[in-house]
Amino acid sequence: MKMQAWEEAAPGVWRLTIGDPQAITPLTWMGVSPRTDALSQKPAAQPPFAWESIQLEEARSGHILSFPLNQTEKLYGAGLQLLRMNLRGRTRYLRVNSDPKQDTGETHAPVPFYVSDLGYGVWVDTSRIVTIHCGSTLKQEDTDRSEIRNRNTDKGWKATPIASRVEIQIPVEGADVYVFGGPTLSDVVSRYNLYCGGGVLPPKWGLGFWHRVPTLFNEEEVLEEARQFREHDIPCDVIGLEPGWHSHSYPVTYEWEKSRFPEPERFVQQLKHNGFHVNLWEHPFVSPETELHSKLQPLSGSHTVWGGLAPDYSLPEAQQLYKTQHDEQHVQIGVSGYKLDECDGSELTNNSWMFPGHAKFPSGIDGEQMRQIYGLMFQKMTYDLYHSRNQRTYGLVRASNGAAATMPYVLYSDLYDHKQFIRAVCNSSFSGLLWTPEVRRARNAEDWVRRMQTVCFSSLAMLNAWGDGTKPWSYPEVEGIIRHYIKLRMRLLPYLYSNFALYREQGIPPFRAMPFVISAAEIAQAEAGGPDNEPSILNTTDGAYGKKKAREWDDQFMVGDALLVAPLVEGEWERDVLLPSGIWYGLETGERYTGGRVIRIHASLEQIPVFVRSGSVIPMMPALPHVPHAGTRVALELVHFGSEPGEGLLYDDDGETFNYEKGECGWWKATVTQNSDGEFNGKLTGPDGEMPSYDSINWRFAQTRLEASGK
């Protein structure tokens, strides 16, 4: 096939159109415009390859597009990968699947976008399944004989030979393929996010603490549980209702069950009055017991799921039915958002919780496409609903795909491995996704604390008690630790919010994997002084291809540029931490560390190891019971760490509406200088000398640790 020309679609973004791309893709569905303003301000990027080094071949299974790969480069991304960070040597079969228990590439959010640590990225914008062979295939002509070793005698034998190309299988119909330039990995991801419209800025309340109540709770039980949060002095902003609020589920009605919620509006308003937002669980499959059913039936797919209709929301008529019903019965009475469940479907542990790939939809879309973008459809429809009311929303979704950075949705999973949940914080950052390592029941108090510590340093801090009824005080012996971390999150809200604003405006995610801030060469240097990896051992019971595993540092991450979080999981009382160069302090221990090294940390149950970069200025606020409403002014604290001058950023706006789109927002820079006597001084400068909407500003200088109280 003749290769079309690559064209520059935006600064540092190149596009190749292969075949005849389909009408509905993540990018067209989202309808977003590239943030060319922000893209133009980035450092200039050169194409990462000579275009002629990219090959296009035809196969029965689709177009095979291949890119060169050097001997040592690492590849990241491909969406919400739970089982691995560096994709080099692996094939990613990027199908939406709710049970990513094996490392095939399938996941809730399989974005066909990978980034290289050499500073470029490749994205296929399609609603079909893409397979990316990330250096897991080797052609005859690329096979280096000298690399072939004798496993019998040569200890250098590798289970996975080093390949020299990435081979991408693109759907037979064709697709648009994008290459994003750097120069750094962070720039690549930023370009991808900006090209897709920039990152999301949640409402401030969305960054408070979330609690989902047991599925069959009624009005009184929910109100009582909310009250207990205040009584226990544990901040909480959002109460989530689970399937029991529907009059029938599964499949669902989207209508309130009147025996449990006789007056939904009064109920929602009462919670709101007490400082709680309401989030409603739903899934895509429409019950015959709802008014919508007969209208949606002709607009739905050939197959039912749990007996419910799977509507074709690419049809404007179906969209309108869904939006109107949701607007009238939920949004207008004050509901703040949704948890969009089961729009992924499982083909691993069970195969009947999704329509098949061959299902047919009235618009002509088939089951494969619909499943790949079903999560995006619900995100966009609900987002539009709130946007049209100039009201921000924030919620949860179980399936996503490319071009999702603008969406106010955070991914979650029914899986529950804490290490995987931490890795997902890292991996989601490469592909314009947000992820919550939600907490459910725990094995014991230690497991409970470790999970709660992690979730408080994520995009959405939530306890999901839908099935087990746990509460933050369920393990009384550690209630104090839990309270401490939920309050710490609340105190950090100005910092978190500012980092989300950076996501929106510059495409740099608030939670970032280590490759965003440290290069492969720097990692190698830091590791040189660290503990050895374990050697491989031949093992005939658990797997015959044992090999030395390189440490991926997929168990620690940055929150903004100032904080490094290195969680512990149950059973761990110490761990290695990769510290980038510079001076760091233990955020709550005050211990001083020299970075550019791997350090060994011990931590009691009271502590999650968090490190703050010397010279940072972190904006903070008091640990209120809930995030203040727009217009409520609270005290701002600007905490400067270390013994040298430094600076930090603060973003602010009303926190609830889209008025920032009209410029009603501002950035402030907190600058700390030191005079000749060694005294520190702080200065907050902002747009036109305006001050942010806080009622006082307290500076703290030269801190080595955060003081326990917010005041």
Residues within window 2-21 making contact with its own copies, judged by CB under 8 A? none
- Beta carbons of 272 and 236 less than 8 angstroms apart: no
Closest to its own copies by CB, 21 vs 560, is: 21
Closest to its own copies by CB, 145 vs 273, is: 145
Other Cβ atoms within 10 Å of 281 Cβ, number: 24
Q: For its own copies, which stretch binds (CB under 8 A), given 132-140, 195-203, 419-427, 702-710? A: 132-140
Q: Report if residue 709 touches its own copies, rule: CB under 8 A.
A: no
Q: For its own copies, which stretch binds (CB under 8 A), given 420-428, 533-541, 560-568, 600-608? A: 533-541
The pair of structure tokens assigned to 74 is 């690492």
Show the binding pattern over residues 413-442: x = contacts its own copies (CB under 8 A), - = does not. -x-x-----------------------xxx
Binds its own copies (CB under 8 A): choice among 19, 68, 183, 288 = 288
Residues 630-649 that bind its own copies (CB under 8 A): none
Q: Report if residue 574 touches its own copies, rule: CB under 8 A.
A: no
Q: Report if residue 250 touches its own copies, rule: CB under 8 A.
A: yes
Binds its own copies (CB under 8 A): choice among 353, 386, 448, 584 = 353
Q: Report if residue 360 touches its own copies, rule: CB under 8 A.
A: yes
Angle at 505 between CA 503 and CA 509, to 5 degrees: 15
Closest to its own copies by CB, 242 vs 652, is: 242
Residues 71-90 that bind its own copies (CB under 8 A): 89-90
DSSP string, 216-256: T--HHHHHHHHHHHHHTT----EEEE-GGGBSSTTTB-SSB
CA distances from 673 to 373, 641, 704 (A): 50, 12, 17
Closest distance of CB 192 from its own copies, Å:
24
Q: Report if residue 151 touches its own copies, rule: CB under 8 A.
A: yes
Strand pairing partners for 599? 577
DSSP string, 418-446: HHHHHHHHHHHTTTT--B---B---SSHH
Query: Hey, is 524 helix, strand or coil?
Result: helix
Binds its own copies (CB under 8 A): choice among 227, 258, 358, 600 = 358
Q: Report if residue 348 touches its own copies, rule: CB under 8 A.
A: yes
Closest distance of CB 67 from its own copies, Å:
15
- Beta carbons of 517 and 511 less than 8 angstroms apart: no
Q: Report if residue 215 touches its own copies, rule: CB under 8 A.
A: yes
Pairing of strands 209-212, 174-180: unpaired
Q: Report if residue 371 touches its own copies, rule: CB under 8 A.
A: no
Query: Hey, is 187 helix, strand or coil?
Result: helix
Walk across the sheet containing 55-59 and list its strands.
55-59, 62-68, 165-170, 130-134, 90-94
Closest distance of CB 64 from its own copies, Å:
5
CA distances from 342 to 37, 375, 414 (A): 37, 9, 10
- Beta carbons of 78 and 110 less than 8 angstroms apart: yes
Residues 32-61 that bind its own copies (CB under 8 A): 57, 59-61
Q: Report if residue 306 touches its own copies, rule: CB under 8 A.
A: yes
Q: Report if residue 535 touches its own copies, rule: CB under 8 A.
A: no
Residues 454-473 that bind its own copies (CB under 8 A): 464, 466-468
- The conformation of residue 608, written as its DSSP 8-state character, comes to -
Other Cβ atoms within 10 Å of 602 Cβ, number: 11
Closest to its own copies by CB, 136 vs 581, is: 136
Binds its own copies (CB under 8 A): choice among 163, 166, 455, 579 = 163
Q: Report if residue 257 touches its own copies, rule: CB under 8 A.
A: yes
Q: Residue 93 — φ and ψ, nearest 5°? A: -95, 100
Among residues 566, 581, 472, 469, the alpha carbon closest in space to that of 522 is found at 581
Query: Hey, is 525 helix, strand or coil?
Result: helix
Q: Report if residue 474 touches its own copies, rule: CB under 8 A.
A: no
Closest distance of CB 227 from its own copies, Å:
24
Q: Report if residue 290 touches its own copies, rule: CB under 8 A.
A: no
Among residues 353, 103, 106, the alpha carbon closest in space to that of 250 is found at 353
Q: Report if residue 295 touches its own copies, rule: CB under 8 A.
A: no
- The conformation of residue 107, written as its DSSP 8-state character, comes to B
Binds its own copies (CB under 8 A): choice among 176, 347, 652, 653 = 347
Q: For its own copies, which stretch binds (CB under 8 A), given 41-49, 239-247, 548-556, 570-578? A: 239-247
Q: Report if residue 23 touches its own copies, rule: CB under 8 A.
A: no
The pair of structure tokens assigned to 157 is 């034998």
Closest to its own copies by CB, 183 vs 288, is: 288
Tell me whether the omega of the peptide bond preceding residue 251 falls within 30 degrees of 0, making it cis: yes
Binds its own copies (CB under 8 A): choice among 71, 72, 139, 536 = 139
